[in-house]
Amino acid sequence: MLPIEMLGHGEDTPSRFELLSMVKKHSSLLGKTVIVADEDDTSDVELDHRFWHDMLDLYFVRGKDSRGRQDDDLVFFVRKLSSYGYGFNDGKEGVSPYFVRRWAPKLDDLIGESNVDVDWRRSFYLNLIAHTSFTVTVAICSHQDLRNHQAEQGIPLSPIYKVVKTLYASPSRVNFQLDSKKEVETTPAYPDICFAIDDFDSTFDAVVLTETDHCYCVILNAHDGAAFPREKESNDCSSSDSSSLRVETNSAKMKNTKLTLFSGFVSYQMVRDAYDAGKSRFGNLLGHSPGKTDKLYMKGPGGRGEVEVAVSRVADQSQQDLGPFSPVISKRGFGIGSIVRKAASVASVAAKNAYAAASSTHSFDDEMVPLKCCLMSISLPWEQIAYDLLFKGTPPVTL
């Protein structure tokens, strides 16, 4: 394989599909502790900072896709550990583990004198994640249906209710204040990647658990963007390397164009017990923040990743009518009054149905309480995401 700096310039730069094939060949250290004793040692390509520098340049700055600005116009750079301490959480006060620049045609113009502080390998992976498209599916499913689906994968899983929303990956974390439903502060999350839902309360207002058989399900899928480059027709070439590349290309066409990065569920009873107790009764599975903030934290399968959910009792709205609605104009100038009215109607109907269902199937002694669950954020380690984007081959979870 030719050194990456010799692969071409300008219009002759390799496609993202070709570049990502090279990245996969040199990503065996993902998830492993990497200690670089000599940054000038190029004997191992995966530890060669010049390889990753050029790869980031071609993939996110000089490449055709980047020049066409199909991605977000932000480029992320991870600082070397030596720039702020031995660990990401124990670094020098006030020094973020990463910094951000707006795209420019030349990489040197982006970072200037900060070049020496950049960890190019981690920076490439962070940009690969940040420029990939994600969606989250939040669903209410029957616990019995879930058990049947797990026992026999061929059995389809039909949710009782679901919401699908586009999410964006970020190396920063948003700390929400439930009382005001506003952002309190944004802090670095890296090496975790955070997927926050700013409008969590309105988006999931109709996600209400009303039966003891109900389960709250969260699925995060990646499906487009930088990690899913489209193969382009390549010129005829007689070299064995090109033939091999075409073989890899054809096999890649058969791969899934959607990957599940996180999937987990929790039963109504577990949510209810944690909500009532005000503290964790399930080890690492559920936790409850102190005070009035009614936040539940759910760990993913195997303890990987964390989901933050705002849980509240649904008020009895059976005797309440919707009040008048004022037109609402978004910052971009679109009228969304009708959308707000529709969402409020759905939420009201959901609340009425929840109480009707609870009262018809449970006695007062059971005290069945409908619980609204609003997903606030999902957090995952960057190496887990990067590895799955490059190598995960299992079919995605679909609802």
Question: Residue ranges of the domains in the chain?
Answer: 4-130, 133-224+258-314+369-391
Which pLDDT score, from 0 to 100, does residue 335 have? 31
Which pLDDT score, from 0 to 100, does residue 319 have? 41
Asked whether residue 99 carries a pLDDT value surpassing 50, the answer given is yes
List alpha helices for the chain, DSSP H.
Answer: 16-25, 49-56, 64-67, 107-111, 120-130, 143-151, 200-203, 240-253, 268-277, 337-361, 382-391
Cis peptide before 191 (omega within 30 of 0): yes
Which pLDDT score, from 0 to 100, does residue 155 have? 72
Average pLDDT over residues 211-232: 92
Asked whether residue 92 carries a pLDDT value surpassing 70, the answer given is no
Tell me how far apart the alpha carbons of residues 318 and 354 are, in angstroms, rounded to a whole number. Answer: 10
Which pLDDT score, from 0 to 100, does residue 115 have? 75
Most confident of 64-78, 106-120, 164-178: 164-178
Band of pLDDT at residue 298, cut at 50, 70 and 90: confident
Which pLDDT score, from 0 to 100, does residue 16 have? 92
Which pLDDT score, from 0 to 100, does residue 345 have? 47
CB 79 within 8 A of CB 95: yes
Which pLDDT score, from 0 to 100, does residue 55 have? 95
Tell me the helix, strand and coil percentages in the chain, rounded to 5.
35, 25, 40
Most confident of 56-65, 92-101, 188-197: 188-197
Asked whether residue 214 carries a pLDDT value surpassing 50, the answer given is yes
Asked whether residue 11 carries a pLDDT value surpassing 60, the answer given is no
Lowest mean pLDDT among 65-79, 232-246, 274-288: 232-246
Average pLDDT over residues 344-357: 50
Average pLDDT over residues 118-144: 95
**pLDDT exceeding 90 applies to what percent of the chain?**
41
Which pLDDT score, from 0 to 100, does residue 357 have? 52
Tell me how far apart the alpha carbons of residues 67 and 61 are, in angstroms, rounded to a whole number. Answer: 7
**pLDDT exceeding 70 applies to what percent of the chain?**
63
Which pLDDT score, from 0 to 100, does residue 233 have? 41
Lowest mean pLDDT among 274-278, 290-294, 375-379: 290-294
